[in-house]
Amino acid sequence: MDIETFREYCLVKKGVTEEFPFDEVTLVFKVMGKMFALTGLDADEPSANLKCDPDRSLELRDEHPDIIAGYHMNKKHWNTVYLERELDDSLIRELIDHSYELVVMGLTKKLKAELEEM
């Protein structure tokens, strides 16, 4: 999956915004103000950090060499996913969806209600 396809897939989700809160090269995707994906636009090889259930994170890392512990993130809850190696686009989309859903589940009732109304 190329970086533009990754970006477009993230942005079509309800309540998602993109911003550069850290620097001019780290693109962050948030749902209702909470981060669920980020990517470094200056990386030699396109990758993204995605939130993941801790047990599933370990399984994914064991099964796929293109999924590693989240770079510069809490390694228990985040994975780095290499976008243009051997992973199927369908798996990458599934991991984006999983990250988004984890963050939505953790939103306050008020934010969930606002998201539903969008």
The domains located in the chain, with CATH, are: 3-117 (3.90.1150.30)
Is residue 52 over pLDDT 90? Answer: yes
Sheet holding 47-51, edge to edge: 16-19, 26-31, 34-40, 47-51, 78-82, 67-69
Q: What is the pLDDT of residue 42?
A: 92
33's torsion region: left (phi>0), alpha (psi -120 to 50) or beta? left
**Predicted pLDDT of residue 74:** 87
Taking residues 5-32, report their average pLDDT.
97
From the DSSP assignment, how many helices (H) and strands (E) are in the chain? 4, 6
Average pLDDT, integer, range 38-53: 95
Measured between alpha carbons, how far is 107 from 32 in angstroms, rounded to an integer? Answer: 8
pTM, full prediction: 0.95
List the beta bridge partners of residue 47. 82
pLDDT tens string 53-101: 999 999 999 999 999 999 888 889 999 999 999 999 999 999 999 999 9
